[in-house]
Amino acid sequence: MVENIRLSFQGIWSHKMRSFLTMLGVIIGIASIIAIVSTIEGTNEQIMQNLIGAGNNNVKITLRQGEGEYWMDNGAPAGVSLISQEQRDQILALDDVENASFFNYRSYVDGVTNGKNSLNSGKALGVDLNYLDTCGYVVYAGRGFLETDYTEIRKNVLLDEAAAASLFPDGNALGKTIEVRGEPFTVIGLIKKADNFQPVINSFQDYLTYNQEDYGAMLMPDVCWPIVFSYDEPQNAVVMAKTTEAMTNVGKEAAEIMNVSIANPEGDIKYEAEDLLEKARNQQELSASTNNLLLWVASISLLVGGIGVMNIMLVSVTERTSEIGLKKAVGARKRKILAQFLTESAVLTSCGGMIGVLVGIILSQIIARMSETRAAISVPAIIGSVAFSMLIGIVFGLLPSVKASNLNPIDALRRE
C-alpha cells in the first residue's frame, strides 16, 4: 500500500498540469460544500445568538392567557395565587438551574415622571434581590438593592441607561426623586447589562424578527409594587439554566412548579416558558430547503469531477498498457494491478479534496466578510468532505482499474 501511494504521488507529480485539471472538479465541489456548510452553520449560530442573546441562558416564564401574556392592567386574575417560598425553593433546587428570580412586570408603564420629563413606553419591574445577577445587570453608578430595602419597604428605584436619559437629560440622576403614579421614589443606582449584546440585523426580516425597541426600564423592590399598583399580583420568573441545551427543560419544569398556584390548570390562564431554542430551530428550518438545494447543486460538481477522474484514469491505463503487461508477465496478480490504480485514483481525489477544503475555508471567510454574516468552520464537514472525495476516487476509478487488471499480458506487451 505504501509503495502504491508513493507511485501515485510520483505519477501525479510527473503530470502536474493534467493532475491539477483533473482535480479541479473535485476542488470546486468540495470548496463549494465547505463554504455552504460553513455559512449555514454560521447563520444558524447567529440565529441562536440573536434569540438567546449573549449566552446568559435565561428562560422567561410568564403568566399567559391564550396566545399572549396576561394583561395585568385588567387586575389580578381570579384563581391565581402568589408564588410561594416553597415553589421558589423547588425551582432553585432543579438540577440544571443556576439561579432564578421572581418579578412583577409592566411592559408599558405610565406616570413615571421627573418634572416635565417622563418615561414614555418604558418598563417597570418589581424585582427580588436575585434579579440583577440572574439577568446579567451591573450597577455602574450608585448602589443596588440591599436586604434592608425589602425589610423596611424603602421606596427606591434603579434606572437603566435609557430610562436615566429620558428622565434626567442633564445626566444627574443619582439621589434624585421621581414620581411613579404619584408616589415618590429615590434613584439609588444606575444599571446596565454586563454584556451589551445586540442582535445582528442584515435584512428587514431580521429587523422584524430580532429588533426590540428599548425605551428604558425602572426597577423597584417587589415589596413596593402594591404601593404603586394597589394590589398584589402574581409574579413572573426568569430562570438561568446551567447550559444553553438545558433551557427548554428548565423552562418546562419551572412552569409546571409555578402552575401549582393556579386553581384551574385546565383553563386558558397558565404559566408558560418562552422556548427560545424552539424559536431558533424554527428560524433555522425556514432556510433549510434553500440550503439543501445549494448543497445538491454543489454536489453536481463533485459528480462532474468524478467523471473527469474516470476519464483521466482511462487515459492513464491506455498510456501505461506496456507497463501493465510487463508487470503481469513477471507475475503481478490482478488484485495488485487493481490496487495500484485504485490507490492512484483515491490519492488524486483526496489531494483535490484537501485543496478544496482550504479553498472552501477561505471562500467562506470571504462570503462572511462581504455579507457581514458569520462563518462557522465545521470539522465533521471537513473530515466528511475529504473522506467523500476519497470515495469518489475509488468509485470512479474502479472501472479503469478493472480494465487495467483484466489486460492480457501478451496483448499489452505488443501495444506500442
Looking at residue 286, its pLDDT comes to 57
The mean pLDDT value of the chain amounts to 79
**Do 343 and 17 touch, CB atoms closer than 8 A?**
no
Least confident of 99-103, 113-117, 175-179, 210-214: 210-214
Return the bridge partners of 189, or none.
142, 158
Residue of higher predicted confidence among 293 and 255:
255
CA distances (Å), origin 12, targets 5, 30, 322, 355, 390 = 11, 20, 19, 14, 15
Closest CA to 355 of 134, 29, 129, 95: 29
pLDDT digits (tens, 9 = 90+) for 150-169: 999 999 999 999 999 999 99
Closest CA to 34 of 387, 376, 392: 376
- Could you write out the three-class secondary structure of 145-213? CCHHHHHCCCCEEEEEHHHHHHHCCCCCCCCCEEEECCEEEEEEEEEEECCCCCCCCCCHHHHHHHCCC
Place of cell 477544503: 357
For residue 235, the 8-state DSSP code is -
Residues 331 and 336: their CA atoms lie apart, in Å, by: 10
Residues 44 and 71: their CA atoms lie apart, in Å, by: 34
Looking at residue 81, its pLDDT comes to 87
The answer on pLDDT for 406 being more than 80 is: no
**Do 260 and 89 touch, CB atoms closer than 8 A?**
no
Whole-model pTM: value is: 0.61
Looking at residue 152, its pLDDT comes to 95
pLDDT band, residue 208 (cuts 50/70/90):
very low
Q: What is the longest distance spanned by two Cα atoms in the chain?
A: 109
Looking at residue 350, its pLDDT comes to 84
- The C-alpha cell at 1 is 500500500
| Residues 205, 209, 214, 218, Cα dihedral to 10° | 170
The answer on pLDDT for 239 being more than 60 is: yes
Question: Could you tell me the end-to-end alpha-carbon distance of the chain, in angstroms, rounded to an integer?
Answer: 29
**Radius of gyration of the chain measured on its C-alpha atoms:** 33
Query: Would you call 68 exposed, middle or buried from its count of C-beta atoms within 10 A (0-12, 13-18, 19+)?
Result: exposed
Q: How many residues does the chain have?
A: 416
Domain spans, the chain: 2-49+286-414, 81-261
- The C-alpha cell at 322 is 506496456
DSSP per-residue codes, 349-413: HHHHHHHHHHHHHHHHHHHHHHHT------HHHHHHHHHHHHHHHHHHHHHHHHHHHT--HHHHH
Rounded to an integer, the average pLDDT of 282-294 is: 62
Report the half-sphere exposure of 184 (CA within 13 A, side-chain side): 5
**Do 191 and 160 touch, CB atoms closer than 8 A?**
yes
CA distances (Å), origin 2, targets 8, 9, 339, 347 = 10, 11, 11, 12
Residues 70 and 314: their CA atoms lie apart, in Å, by: 73
pLDDT digits (tens, 9 = 90+) for 164-188: 999 999 888 999 999 999 999 999 9
Query: Would you call 219 exposed, middle or buried from its count of C-beta atoms within 10 A (0-12, 13-18, 19+)?
Result: buried
Looking at residue 57, its pLDDT comes to 80
Return the bridge partners of 99, or none.
240
Closest CA to 107 of 3, 234, 212: 212
- The C-alpha cell at 280 is 431558533
pLDDT band, residue 125 (cuts 50/70/90):
very high
- 341 Cβ contact partners less than 8 Å away, ≥ 6 residues apart: 313, 316, 317, 397, 400, 401, 404, 405
Q: Provide the residue type at 38 as one letter.
A: S
Rounded to an integer, the average pLDDT of 277-300 is: 64
Residue of higher predicted confidence among 28 and 398:
28
